Amino acid sequence: MKQVLVLVADGTEEIEAVTVVDVLRRVGAKVTVASVMPQMATIAASRGVKIVADTILRPHLFDTQWDALVLPGGMPGAEYLGLSAEVVTLIKNTKAAGNIIAAICAAPAVVLGRNGLLEGAEATCHPSFQAELAHHTTVSSARVVDAGWLITSQGPGTAIEFALKLVARLYSPIEAAALAEAMVVDIPI
């Protein structure tokens, strides 16, 4: 069973976080949602939706070999993620293990770019952050970019494509296509 960690904070974009959790759980992934807010398992997402995380970011999460680490966007959620030394360590550990970092919306620029974690991988992000992202890496205008260890996407409207790309990478393109069909999603996988 694939293990995926989705990090959330106050101001996380709820569509991006919940869509990834939903899609990955449909395919059988063990998804853990962790709040980076100190002592707060329930976060207030960017549009006021309350999300109850499975756990608070704690040291025991560093003992797991995550197949993918997901960084939703939204502001100031992405800023909270990017300012967390623990999140930066998780990103480095996940990448060093050869596993996937997936970032959407503001997160590619705010979390990865600002922390010098892009290492020249082509990426995309929300259009309002693309100028900032360009200071750190090559920017693509694609809705979803798969750069091997890094999967990035533009925002709430691309969240299902982003999640299905994760399914394709973690499981297979065939499983992603079958899931897209079952969900009545008409996008190329």
Neighbours of 157 (CB within 10 A): 12
187 and 161 Cβ atoms separated by less than 8 Å: yes
- Tell me which residue has tokens 């930066």: 88
Catalytic residue among 7, 36, 43, 105: 105
Identify the DSSP state of 175: H
If residue 34 lies in a helix (H) or strand (E), which one and from where to where?
strand 30-35
- Residue 125 annotated in active site: no
Report the distance separating Cα 79 and Cα 9, nearest Å: 9
Q: What are the Cα distances from residue 168, in Å, to 31, 106, 172?
A: 16, 23, 4
Neighbours of 138 (CB within 10 A): 14
Report the distance separating Cα 17 and Cα 7, nearest Å: 8
- Tell me which residue has tokens 């976060």: 43
| Structure token pair of residue 19 | 């869509």
Report the distance separating Cα 146 and Cα 36, nearest Å: 26
Catalytic residue positions, numbered: 105
